[in-house]
Amino acid sequence: MSVATAKSFFDGLIGAASGPIATYQASFLATSGFYFQGLQTPGPSVPNFDAPLFPDITRRPTDHPHTWRALSSRLVGSFPGAVAVDYYGGSLGAGYDLRVMVRDGTATWIRTVSYGPEASFRTHDWTVSTL
């Protein structure tokens, strides 16, 4: 597998999961008053693309009991990177980001697709970070 193949895997995941995640988020918001936050999985660090790991659907923030379990049908097989759902409360209102990451040694490729009032400037195609 190459970095390009790993990125394609996550591009496909975003395409396939964005609808079900949006449906889940709308329901979650209606019942809880905020959006679901999915901690990075696998995590806490991004696995290297050539050493994929299975997502941990039990990961959750310490301040609420919600895990990835409701979305587990979208998290099948091993991942050549990681995925996270980040909630935001910005100046224009609340929304969430679907973030995917692929690591190649010290470089981490990140793509963010945002949903909500700040989506136009929070959504980014693949960019590389060397932190």
- Separation of alpha carbons 34 and 95, rounded Å: 9
* pLDDT at site 63: 86
- Separation of alpha carbons 14 and 22, rounded Å: 11
Q: Which residues, at least 6 apart from 41, have a Cβ–Cβ distance to it below 8 Å?
A: 55, 56, 57, 59, 68, 75, 79, 82, 83, 84
Q: Which residue has the tokens 């394609």?
A: 8
Q: What is the pTM of this model?
A: 0.88
Residue 3 has pLDDT above 90, yes or no: no
Structural domain count, the chain: 1
- Burial zone of 58 (CB within 10 Å; 0-12 exposed, 13-18 middle, 19+ buried): exposed
* pLDDT at site 21: 87
51 neighbors 40 (Cβ within 8 angstroms): no
| Residue 70, in any domain of the structure | no
- Separation of alpha carbons 99 and 110, rounded Å: 7
| Residue 72, in any domain of the structure | no
Domain span including residue 20:
3-60+78-129
Residue 131 has pLDDT above 70, yes or no: no
Query: Residue 94 in 3-state DSSP?
Result: strand
pLDDT tens digits for range 54-108: 888 889 888 888 888 887 776 777 888 899 999 999 899 999 999 999 999 889 9
| Residue 30, in any domain of the structure | yes
| Residue 11, in any domain of the structure | yes
Higher pLDDT, 128 or 44: 128
